[in-house]
Structure 1
């Protein structure tokens, strides 16, 4: 850190921001152990207590995890399916079936009352709308509509989304320093809207599983609203422990 910089932020928050920047830059990879509190304190020019508090907040945010007697590690990044996956019905404990993501596009729209309330935005606030299609063995099985604040994530664009083979969650961490986790999910059977039915190559109005979720930092407000429609004729949507 720059010891000469004048900041109104508490020192531990400056240390936290500096460590988060280094994680986002990939200095420590996923599941890699960080240096000890003593070493980090010396690097940052702060006390061990300040370094410990900065690390504790990053653990609370889900960026890091602590393993008793081993150390502090970069927490694994959640994928686009969070704790969910699709598997063959009746199969438990095995690996999830591999789904291939197809990026369809990103556009802008204004927040309606429901989404604005969920994301704590004003009604009419600008949103990015990201569209994804998921294929299983070449066949379309799920669609995603993802909404997030265009003001908070102001330079999100199709090029960044299309260029990355990793999850949207990783992009939010690497570019914006925001590590998201699923806060809540709602499951229900709905009739497919016309747009989703066309993408999934089925007739409009067909019944499908709807998974509505809100995601954000572990200790913060939701920043991402996701509506997923999933065909479960041959596959089962499974929530992994």
Structure 2
């Protein structure tokens, strides 16, 4: 076996990438079934075991989901909110809920040093700034600023975001064929900045503490896509992260 063969990606990974590209290209829509493992194996001239391993990894990546006896289906994109829920403080093991989102604005900004480094861009490169307000039980509870490359996502506007329900990730999937996953998140306690405090209804002379979240999201191929800052009020509700 020569050196080039040793460097070659395993066949199931090649099939996984091919299927992912076809999903991103819109060949199969959300909740639509893929062909059977045997049909895909015949079409792609590989073994059924290779197809099964590729599909299994896509299920683990939450790109697909399986239903016993029915087949393998395309999953909805991940939620902008993420996997966390909001619930009553101290109520361990009691189910919470995710808040509802409202798009406030779609504007342009310039990449800071931290954003540029995380997204693999030049400092001060133009970014889309997508501001979202989250409500829980009718109350403003969190505020997000999501930043995306203007060059990579040309033509993005509020109309597209509202058409797809205000979700950034749903818009990226359906408009640009890019599925995202959260690569990393950081949490810390901060005082709420004045502008964010006003948008969250905290009109007071007293400084308001908040949970600050920084998130880096990437494409399914590992390319940096989004840098997100969230401020979440947790005086009344707990930010519940489940395994």
Give the structure-2-normalised TM-score.
0.79
Contact 1:61 1:179 in 2 (8 A): no
Corresponding residue for 2:223? 221
Corresponding residue for 1:110? 110
Cα distance change of structure 1 residues 155 and 96 upon mapping to structure 2, 3 Å threshold: farther
Corresponding residue for 2:26? 22
Give the structure-1-normalised TM-score.
0.80
- Structure 1 spans left out of the alignment, 5+ residues: 1-10
Secondary structure of the residue aligned to 2:195 is helix
Moved beyond 6 Å, runs of 4+? 66-70
Corresponding residue for 2:213? 211
- Structure 2 spans left out of the alignment, 5+ residues: 1-13
Cα distance change of structure 1 residues 70 and 57 upon mapping to structure 2, 3 Å threshold: same
Tell me the CA shift for residue 222 of structure 1. Answer: 2.5
Contact 1:16 1:54 in 2 (8 A): no
Cα distance change of structure 1 residues 192 and 79 upon mapping to structure 2, 3 Å threshold: same
Aligned pair partner of 2:45 in 44, 47, 51: 47
Tell me the CA shift for residue 57 of structure 1. Answer: 7.4
Corresponding residue for 2:180? 180
Tell me the CA shift for residue 143 of structure 1. Answer: 0.4
Cα distance change of structure 1 residues 176 and 56 upon mapping to structure 2, 3 Å threshold: farther
How many residue pairs get aligned? The number is: 226
Alpha-carbon RMSD: 3.0
Q: Out of 72-81 and 226-235, give the one that drifted further.
A: 72-81
Corresponding residue for 2:193? 193
Secondary structure of the residue aligned to 1:109 is strand
